[in-house]
A and B are shown apart, each in its own frame.
Chain A
Amino acid sequence: MTEPLLRVRDLQTYFVTEHGSGTARAVDGVSFEVQPGETLGIVGESGCGKTVTSLSILRLIPEPPGHIRPGSFIEFEGRNLLTLEPRELRAIRGNQIAMIFQEPMTSLNPVFTVGDQIAEAAIVHQHLSRRAARTRAIEMLQLVGIPDPEERVDHYPHQMSGGMRQRVMIAMALVCHPKLLIADEPTTALDVTIQAQILELLDRLQAELGMAVMLITHDLGVVAGTADRVVVMYAGQVVEQAPTAPLFARPLHPYTEGLLASVPRLDAAPASARGRLHSIPGQVPAATAWPDGCRFHPRCPYVWDRCRREEPPLLDAGGGEPGTHTVRCWLLTEPGRRTPRP
């Protein structure tokens, strides 16, 4: 096993809320690794902490009200990101680790041309001249498949469609050939046909540039099509972690199981397509008041006494080298309790 590109261990990011609502423990002990060149999918619903995790890696969390607690450990190519000086951190952001966001319109500066924004990263990190950087920008626009790049380089964001703006964001992120691209819900705001274009683009670029991608999304379909490994998050924790195929074929955590069962599927057989969807009862708890014991227990169909009292650690589920498939659930110790649902 090669050295992981990114190693996150026991990450805890808390937010202080005002006036007695308590501390929101948005990310509460998250650990995972990203290997060079692989695509890691981080899946979860709103409130699970996936976006806060991604922002924590680049230390983009606003310091009050949030803070990354001591004891958290984020290592990139062997260097601890949490102890870097601001100058050193800035040398990594946009250069070795790049990030793209969900809303391309608000992530792009409306008063600068697209070319200027792409060139900025090249100028800052690679110290290119303005002219050289502009050439680079045109190259990048070509790379991300924008037609007529020599013209488009002088356009403003509002002159472009949503899909094109997202491509521009990708171009901005890739201009310095980062080793890791963090993509936070990059296609959620886009139409389905445009989403397909962007996913195909990311796929192609990853192959060409050999970079790793951390893809954060709530869409299980997107993850199934693009990720090599999947991390499922719930209530600020990792609840299951596995290579993509085994996760979808045999989800072990009741939350993953419930999630997969409750998604309406395009490939469902017509007879079962209509009729009740399986739904997970209840709703996601508030980050200021995670339940005791296993955080999923109030909504779990298999719950028993131990779940209410003791929080399970990440347990190994076997199926290959240790650590390949881990699950945070007591069912691994008592598989007999996994009675089939009615």
Chain B
Amino acid sequence: MTPPAGPALVEVQGLVKHFPGERGWFGLGRPRAVVRAVDGVSFAITRGQTLGLVGESGCGKSTTGRAILRLIEPDAGRVTIDGEDVLALGARGLRTLRRRMQIVFQDPYGSLNPRMTVRQTLAEPLAIHRIANGSDAERRVAALLEEVGLDPGFGRSYPHELSGGQRQRVGIARALSVEPQFLVLDEPVSALDVSVQAQVLNLLADLQQRRRLTYLFIAHDLAVVKHIADQVAVMYLGRLVERAPASALYAAPRHPYTISLLSAVPVPDPTAQRQRIVLAGDVPSPAHPPPGCPFHPRCPHPKKNARCSTEPPALREVAPGQLAACHFAEEPM
């Protein structure tokens, strides 16, 4: 795998999003524990490439994706696309920005308005941004449907008449209608059957090539990410624990969490001899992250010591191009 070539299209630095905990006393009492959903995340995505953001539930990957698009307003950090500061934009600038960055959601059933036909769903962004209307819009809608592999006749259908895979294609078409440069794909294939998954992944790869798109691919399925990502970033409790080119990460992971995660993924090969590392305990709640290194209570690294429970490790380069947040990343597990 070649290292990232060319300039970064999207740069994220120190992104933070905390959700205040519930307050008692009708909203006037003292705030309870803060949920640190995203706790200082940084990465850059090269134009035309895919960054896979992986992690288990509650790690903050979805929140990160939405915060970049400002669907959720971040509390701190810096996000730039093509050099332009996303977080500093006002309402009008933000609307223009929406044309350059779009999102595809996980749930093909919930992400389409059940009362709108496919045609109406696809024509709406054209109307919002005054890209086209009337027969011009009709033509564009038909072209979009064809581009995602759907017969233009589907324009008259309602979401409940379509299958999961077809709905997801409509969601992709909708995101493409404004001609974006950057797509956040939030678990786009997790809710689909295996055979449909492959179709949609192929479609996404084709679209990336044809339209020179840049992807942030959020997923929990490491095998899927291996297939589509150039770079991979692993999240745990709101922080990045490892970031590396895909080939390096899968061949030689450095962080104990990444290693455990990879070993836990079941592989469709009954003859595979694998050293399965089974982590003890549950994923801790992001409202009460452990002190020091967030992973230390479950960490199976033999060199784990008192330093891990007091000093949070910084994300540092432990091999060429590969960053990990572990005090003992250089020592083998």
Contact = CB atoms under 8 A, between A and B. Distances in A.
Complex: A in contact with B (CB within 8 Å): yes
A143 interface: no
A161 B251 CA distance: 32
Interface string A237-258: 0000000110011000000001
Contacts of B13: none
A19 interface: no
A10 B250 CA distance: 45
A260 interface: yes
B265 A221 contact: yes
Interface stretch (A58-66, A274-282, A321-329): A274-282
Interface string B205-232: 1000000000000001111101110000
**Which of A161, A273, A281 has the most C-beta atoms of chain B within 10 angstroms of its own C-beta?**
A273
B198 A267 contact: no
Interface in B269-287: 269-272, 276, 278-280, 282-283
Contact of A263 (B222, B268, B272): B268
B195 interface: yes
B56 A260 contact: no
Contacts, number: 139
A163 interface: yes
B193 interface: yes
- Majority-rule SS of B interface residues: helix
Instruction: Give the bracket for the number of chain A residues in contact with chain B.
Output: 35 or more
A144 to B, nearest CB: 14
A193 B260 contact: yes
Nearest to A267: B267
B194 A263 contact: yes
B202 interface: yes
A245 B266 contact: no
Interface string A190-218: 01111111011000000000000000001
Contacts of A33: none
Interface of A: 45-46, 161, 163-164, 191-197, 199-200, 218-225, 244-245, 248-249, 258-260, 262-268, 270, 273-274, 276-281, 283-284
18 contacts: A193-B261, A197-B278, A221-B223, A221-B267, A224-B270, A225-B266, A225-B267, A249-B271, A262-B195, A262-B197, A264-B226, A266-B223, A267-B267, A270-B247, A277-B202, A279-B198, A283-B166, A284-B163
Q: Which 8 A-B pairs have the closest CB atoms?
A: A221-B266, A279-B198, A262-B198, A196-B264, A191-B56, A220-B268, A264-B227, A45-B193
